[in-house]
Amino acid sequence: MGIRKKINIILPIIVFLAGMLPVLFKIGNLGLLEPTEGLAASVARLMVEKQDYSTPVYNGIKYFNHAPGVYWITAFGIKLFGNTEFGARFFLSIAAGITSLAVFLIAKLFYGTQCALISCLLLCTSAIFQYNFRIISPSNYCTAFELILCLFFFLYLNKPSNLLRIVFWMTLSFGFLFFGVSIIVPLIPLSLVATYLGQKNQIIKLYNFIPGVVSFFIIGLSWYFIQVIINPGLFNYYLFTLPYLTIFKNYNGISFFFFLILPFIATFPWTIIILKVLKQKISLFKEEPVVTYLLSWALFPYVINLFMTSRNSSSLLHSLSPIILLAVPTFHNIYMKKYEDNEKSLKIIKERRETNLILTISTTIIGMIFLIYGYLNFETSRVVSQNMIYIGLAWLFSALIMIAFMIKKLNKSVLVPIVLLTPVFMLFTVQTIIGNESISKNDYISSKFMLLNRINYTIEKYSDEKTDEIENKNITDFIFCGKPLFASYFYTGKNFKLFEISENIDFATPEAINYIIKDENNIKEMILPESRLVMPSNIRDEISKKLNKELSLSAEESDWIVVTMK
């Protein structure tokens, strides 16, 4: 086997590991975050325990707000590695590796091997990649699958064949089964662009493929057909209720204005350079086919998510890869390409110096922001602030190294410290944050795993002791008020009563009647005199008034409390 063939085999493996390993390291340190991680892990644990993977159920309620893929993948991790945060999150690292590999292969198809390696470098060192692929979310897994689908789409347009059509349709079918309509989103702008660029016949042949359509109905739609038959009203829920809730009523998402600026935060430390690149590329929208494809691919899902109340940071992953792919040629031209023409060489050296200066300035500014944040919030959020100060000092040290490289005229070496910093700091800072620390005075990281572990310890302790039956029942009767902690089943293996919680019970199982306290007439029957109420601390007075009882504090963790009725 020749050296080139060996390189062609080894490089994709290295690229996959470059995406996977930094994410895998310490992936189980952080407690499960609410609500998405907690729900996915609790549903997955129940699936594994009951060996029933057909329907996502939590606390007796069927959850159809997400396609089943995120639950199945999480359940597989728990099956392999046990009921731990590492097991629940393990396949995030695989998804990160696949994402890195797919971006590499698409960039190689468009630009060649050097640019493909740069694309991997930019992707794996971006802040949002390192952050989001550590948190269970449908978008993380869906992004990896989307990129594989887009890779086969571009391969087919480049060299049409029946084999590629089959692979494309099989990927689309399994993608739809696992992630629903989200998997189709990037195909809409890409197909329209291909038609616009004169590849209408290839697009027609790609989609007018009877075996592919049949496989889509058999594989992609099978689970949805079965669930619609079993659950009356589910068709209307998917067609009307869920889109309405996603667009207008899901208040768990981040704000419109924050999502508007999120791309600039997410692409750090390359933000300023990518902005410069985008400015250049937009002017070439109609002139360069690759630019047309990538800009359309980046903007379409971003605009859709921008106007949905369910948007979150992981929603941006759908647009991150095409943004990175757009920036790759500019980085290649500045740092890798050799010019024989002296005038061009001088011009590129000047541009490289300007780019390095911009990177150094932006690195310094970010370092100062981290330091200031850590200093101002040190008294109220010591752990997080210590990490912010540490990161800020490290970024400033990185900027100092970059300045030294520029003084020594080692301009290509400027990238070294900035490339290494982002993943390295995720490795060292993640292990010191467990998930329930305060971010500022009244704001906390959303994991409540310590509280749930204490609840589980109490239940197990008193369940094992031979106490009076009524007393035992009262002591171990925990009721969640205001909103559930979705990770409760993952950490305790038990369902809990829910009071004053606006859950959709249209698809409740018969056993849900034992847990949902909706009717005020059965409050006295279901809430025992010595029940322990678990709730956010800010609704204590409201619940006290509704129950017409004084509430005595029993335990607290961050912004949640456990109370008993006097």
Residue 233 corresponds to which tokens in the numbers above?
Answer: 């009203």
Please check whether residue 64 is in contact with residue 45, taking contact to mean a CB–CB distance below 8 angstroms: no
β-strand partners of 462: none
pLDDT at 255: 81
Instruction: Round to whole Å and give the CA distance between 430 and 28.
Output: 10
Q: Does 212 have pLDDT greater than 80?
A: yes
The share of the chain scoring above pLDDT 70, in percent, equals 88
Residue 247's contacts (CB-CB under 8 Å, 6 or more residues apart) are 307, 308, 309, 310
Q: Does 66 have pLDDT greater than 60?
A: yes
Q: Over the stretch 215-244, which tens digit does the pLDDT of each residue have?
A: 999 999 999 999 999 998 888 888 888 888
Helix, strand, coil tally for the chain in percent (to 5):
70, 5, 25
* Lowest mean pLDDT, pick from 176-180, 222-226, 352-356, 550-554: 352-356
Task: Quickly state the pLDDT bin for 470 (edges 50, 70, 90).
Answer: very low
- Global pTM reads 0.90
Q: Over the stretch 316-333, which tens digit does the pLDDT of each residue have?
A: 889 999 999 998 888 887
Closest CA to 224 of 170, 184, 172, 179: 179
* Lowest mean pLDDT, pick from 1-15, 70-84, 201-215, 552-566: 1-15
Q: Which of left, alpha, beta for 247 (phi over 0: left; psi -120 to 50: alpha)?
A: alpha
Residue 332 corresponds to which tokens in the numbers above?
Answer: 């290649």
* DSSP per residue, 91-152: HHHHHHHHHHHHHHHHHHHHH-HHHHHHHHHHHHTSHHHHHHTTS--HHHHHHHHHHHHHHH
Q: Over the stretch 129-171, which tens digit does the pLDDT of each residue have?
A: 888 898 999 999 999 999 999 999 999 999 999 999 999 999 9
Q: Over the stretch 499-534, which tens digit does the pLDDT of each residue have?
A: 877 666 677 777 777 788 766 666 767 777 778 899
Instruction: Round to whole Å and give the CA distance between 110 and 118.
Output: 13
Q: Does 42 have pLDDT greater than 70?
A: yes
Task: Quickly state the pLDDT bin for 473 (edges 50, 70, 90).
Answer: very low
pLDDT at 424: 58
Task: Quickly state the pLDDT bin for 469 (edges 50, 70, 90).
Answer: very low
Task: Quickly state the pLDDT bin for 468 (edges 50, 70, 90).
Answer: very low
Please check whether residue 565 is in contact with residue 546, taking contact to mean a CB–CB distance below 8 angstroms: no
Rounded mean pLDDT of the chain? 84
Q: Does 300 have pLDDT greater than 90?
A: yes
Q: Does 433 have pLDDT greater than 80?
A: no
The number of angstroms, rounded, from the C-alpha of 344 to the middle of its chain's C-alpha atoms is 42
Closest CA to 402 of 388, 387, 421, 389: 421
Instruction: Round to whole Å and give the CA distance between 209 and 255.
Output: 42
Q: Over the stretch 15-30, which tens digit does the pLDDT of each residue have?
A: 999 899 888 887 888 8
Please check whether residue 437 is in contact with residue 445, taking contact to mean a CB–CB distance below 8 angstroms: yes
- Start-end of H helices in 408-487: 415-430, 449-464, 469-475
Closest CA to 268 of 333, 335, 313: 313
Q: Name, of 120-129, 220-229, 551-560, the range with top average pLDDT.
A: 220-229
pLDDT at 248: 75
Instruction: Round to whole Å and give the CA distance between 552 and 189.
Output: 57
Q: Does 199 have pLDDT greater than 80?
A: yes
